[in-house]
Every structure is written in C-alpha cells, then in structure tokens.
Chain A
C-alpha cells in the first residue's frame, strides 16, 4: 500500500534562511511524487513533480526537491525563505493506478520577519 508521511506538522524559519520540509513515502512500485502549496483560502498549487527522470527536481518560486530512493524520501528545500512562502505544503504520491493520489497531512510553514 502507498502512504505519505510529512515529518513536521509545523515549521518556522526566519526570512532569508533555508527551508526544509520533510516527506517520506512508502510504495511497492516507482511512484510519481509531488509537492503542492496552499495559501490561505486558496486551492492547492503544484510546486513540482518527480517522475523517473532527474532525482533533483526544480519547481516554481525557487523550490527544489530531491528524490532519494534508498531513504524513500522526497524533501522540499529552498535556499532562502521569503515572507510569501508562508503557507501549507502537501507531499503527494501517485498510486499504482495512474489516477490515484495519496496525500500527506501537510506542513504549515511560518516565515518570521
């Protein structure tokens, strides 16, 4: 069965410092992995997607994620946090059937000025 664990429910960083949001997954096959961002009162927006190409994936707004199969991890990083990055972030893994998706419980990112 597929599952996604976001290791931190809340993360606080100072503006200008690095961001690390952690995600581990469990899967019996090679899934697609995603990160989405949700700003208050908005829908979820795709940040980046990993399929089977490069293990380091670049997304929008300066975010990156690295797929590590040996660690079953897909952590999201950004070198320098901006106030506008404050939001909820969701790690998502695809199911064995292409139309299935499994969501983590989310990580709330606070950026301190």
Chain B
C-alpha cells in the first residue's frame, strides 16, 4: 500500500463544466503522475510533477491542467469537460530508489471514474 487516495472515485458531469480530481499521498514522494486509461489505448500520461510547483506535460495533456501546492496533493483539472474525456483516471507516485541500482518504482491509486454527458 503506497498511501494514495483519489477523490472523487466516481463522478458524472456535464459537457463544458470544470472538474477537479484530487490525489493525496501520505509518504511525501517527489514524483506524482496522472494517467488516463481507455480501451484500446492502455495507460497514457497526462501530466506529472517532480516537486511542489514543478509540473510537466505528458503525451495527452490538451484540455487538462494540474497543480501541486503541497507535496502530498496533486490536482488534475479538466478546464471544460468534453465527452472525449470520459475515462478512468489514475494517480500514481514514484517511489525513489533506495540504492543506486534498485531503480524507481511507480505505484497507483484506485482510480477515478469520470463520465462526461
């Protein structure tokens, strides 16, 4: 258990409304990620963060923004939700290697199911 909590777990929203998903971690890891998972596309990286106020885009960042004002929280905002953003959203943390050769490891939250109608 990597201490990752996503909220809300399920949400239905209307097209054009803003939506914010929250990811909270209890272990103070530097790296946090937001992915979306869709049939036929697997997992795709939306945005990631490598520290407070330090974020960068992933491969499918259009229509999404993120913020990280505290180490433990990473917020994903859909500025104006569209039906194409109906998906399952996973937050993840990167647990950094303890030794130089053990490599970082990524751990996932339970997911947030978003439906845009």
Contacts and interface: CB of A to CB of B under 8 A. Distances in A.
A99 B50 contact: yes
A45 B90 CA distance: 12
B104 A98 contact: yes
Contacts of B97: 98
A49 B103 contact: yes
Counting contact residues on chain B (CB < 8 A from A), the size range is 20 to 34
Contacts of B103: 31-32, 49, 51, 94, 98
A interface bracket (residues with beta carbon within 8 Å of B): 20 to 34
Given A32-B103, A51-B102, A98-B96, A43 B42 contact: no
Interface in A80-108: 90, 92, 94, 98-99, 101, 103-106
Given A42-B111, A44-B90, A101 B106 contact: yes
A52 interface: yes
A58 B109 CA distance: 23
11 contacts: A44-B108, A45-B108, A51-B103, A53-B101, A98-B96, A99-B48, A99-B50, A99-B104, A103-B43, A105-B42, A106-B42
Top 7 closest A-B pairs, CB basis? A32-B103, A43-B108, A98-B104, A44-B108, A105-B42, A43-B110, A99-B31
